[in-house]
Structure 1
């Protein structure tokens, strides 16, 4: 996919990354209740995610700005969200390839059980489901599944 640059997020990207997260979450998970307001999500990106975690953004060369965000926390693929109109264009594939390059010993991640497109996406990239929960340990209280990738 030409015309999109993946790069480490800087302080100035926090707002745009949070906005991608918010738009993507709303589009992909309309039935999942978010426990935090939009402003709280923006604060979380500005004060924790971007400054403390390995955060990457996808920036479109066409002037669309930030169209994707990926966050790694040790060996956990913590966040991977794309602007809704950028899904299905290979951008998620590029982010997963980057995550595997950055964590060649392996990765894990959590996704909601209702997010079937995410299951298919991660399974296509070699992730295997290893644990299902009732959601009692996540803020949304939504049943989830843990995936693991090992080279």
Structure 2
């Protein structure tokens, strides 16, 4: 089965991006799907784009398989969420490779401590844990990670 195509998200897809985001987040078991959560994410997507997100989708012949949001100047991978029916099919790895093309030297990210599946995956992908901190808006403890291009990391030692 071919991998989806990664492309910039269109504004007319923002509601669908929010739906994929919610379904993937809910699949972690950390929150339940709700109209409130979906409305919150739908409001957040255009606001975050306005505030600097580069927003991409993984398009599987017109169906959104995943969403990816990056802050390129900050070298920050903000959101990477794969729809539940596409999890385990290398879509996340494809999005991470795409992210490394856009931020080849260094990438920062954070994820919820209780989302063990996510942070273990990032660690397997070469991200190094740096710290934990409570996110005041949500109350979740966040794990902060950094990935550096191996050659870049060697020059800094």
Query: So what's the TM-score if we normalise by structure 2?
Result: 0.84
Query: Which residue in the other structure is 1:67 paired with?
Result: 65
| TM-fit CA distance, 1:31 | 4.9
Equivalent residue, structure 2, for 1:147: 145
- Asked whether the 8 Å contact 1:18–1:41 carries over to 2, the reply is yes
Alignment of 1:67-106 (within 5 A): 67-74=65-72, 75-106=75-106
How big is each residue's C-alpha offset from its partner over 1:30-88, in whole Å with a ceiling of 9 and x where there is no partner? 358x9x6321210211x223454101101112x5x111000001311000001111111
Structure with more contact order per residue of length (Cα contacts < 8 Å, sep ≥ 6): 1
C-alpha separation between the residues in 1 aligned to 2:137 and 2:82? 21
Specify every segment of 5 or more residues in structure 2 that has no aligned partner in the other structure, as ranges. Answer: 150-157
Corresponding residue for 1:123?
A: 123
| More off after superposition, 85-94 vs 49-58 | 49-58
Give the structure with higher Rg (CA). Answer: 2
Q: Is the 8 A contact 2:3 2:91 kept in 1?
A: no
Query: Matched residues in 1 for 2:142 and 2:3: separation?
Result: 34
**What's the secondary structure of 1:89's corresponding residue?**
coil
Structure 1 stretches of 5 or more lacking a match?
Answer: none
1:108 to 1:131, Cα distance in 2 relative to 1, 3 A = same
* Alpha-carbon distance in structure 2 between the residues aligned to 1:29 and 1:141: 16
Partner SS, residue 28 of structure 1? coil
Matched, 1:49 2:48: yes
